Amino acid sequence: MAKQAVRTTTTPSGPHGTSQIGQRSTRQRAAVATALLSIDDFRSAQEIYEKLKSEGENVGLTTVYRSLQAMAAKGDIDVLVNSDGESLYRRCGQRSGHHHHLVCRECGFTVEIEGPAVERWTQEIAHEQGFEEITHTLDIFGQCASCVSAAKATKGKKLAKTNHRN
């Protein structure tokens, strides 16, 4: 996931706070939910579809999209939109309620974080401007420790080759 992404939220549209899309529970939708349990980073619907296909699941791409949209509308999964406009999906871990993410730009590794200082700041700034009932999303993008180490190792090898030639 070397593309910069921004997080979006999905507004529930149904009468009970759920999307009208994909409310029916089916084996295919259960397969999509199960696939998300084994994925640690954000993935596109196409990538999730390919994973299901490789595992022998008979699920259509349209069903994957509808299932992901329904889960996002219910708040079961988070959605990021990358710089190409593609939606990426991930089931959140153990944190319940509002949280933020640290996302590696290189490999997609994601850590869920809480940000009490951010929460206070958003409330203060909104109040100063006369806003009420505010919501926000914040995701921080960078390089994880593993990708930084790999980049340094690669750079070191290239430097050693250059010095060896001289």
Two structure tokens written together for 22: 């994909």
> For position 17, what pLDDT does the model report?
34
Burial of 115 (0-12, 13-18, 19+ CB in 10 A): middle
Percent of the chain with pLDDT over 70: 75
Contacts of residue 50, defined as CB under 8 A and 6 or more positions apart, other chains included, come to none
Q: Which residue would you say has higher pLDDT here, 116 or 8?
A: 116
pLDDT in tens, 146-157: 999 999 888 776
- Considering only 75-84, 90-99, 108-117, which range has the smallest mean pLDDT? 90-99
Mean pLDDT, rounded, for 98-103: 81
- Number of C-beta neighbours around residue 49 at 10 A: 22
> For position 6, what pLDDT does the model report?
41
How many residues are listed for the chain in this entry? 166
Q: Which residue would you say has higher pLDDT here, 10 or 143?
A: 143
Mean pLDDT, rounded, for 12-25: 41
Domain ranges across the chain: 5-165
Evaluate if residue 8 carries a pLDDT over 80.
Answer: no
Task: Compute the distance between CA of residue 132 and CA of residue 82 in angstroms, rounded to an integer.
Answer: 29
Evaluate if residue 95 carries a pLDDT over 50.
Answer: yes
pTM recorded for the entire structure: 0.60
What CATH topology corresponds to 5-165? Arc Repressor Mutant, subunit A (1.10.10)
pLDDT in tens, 28-63: 889 999 999 988 788 999 999 999 999 999 999 999
Beta bridge partners of 110: 103
Mean pLDDT, rounded, for 109-119: 84
pLDDT in tens, 123-164: 999 999 999 988 887 878 899 999 999 998 887 766 565 555
CB 42 within 8 A of CB 90: yes
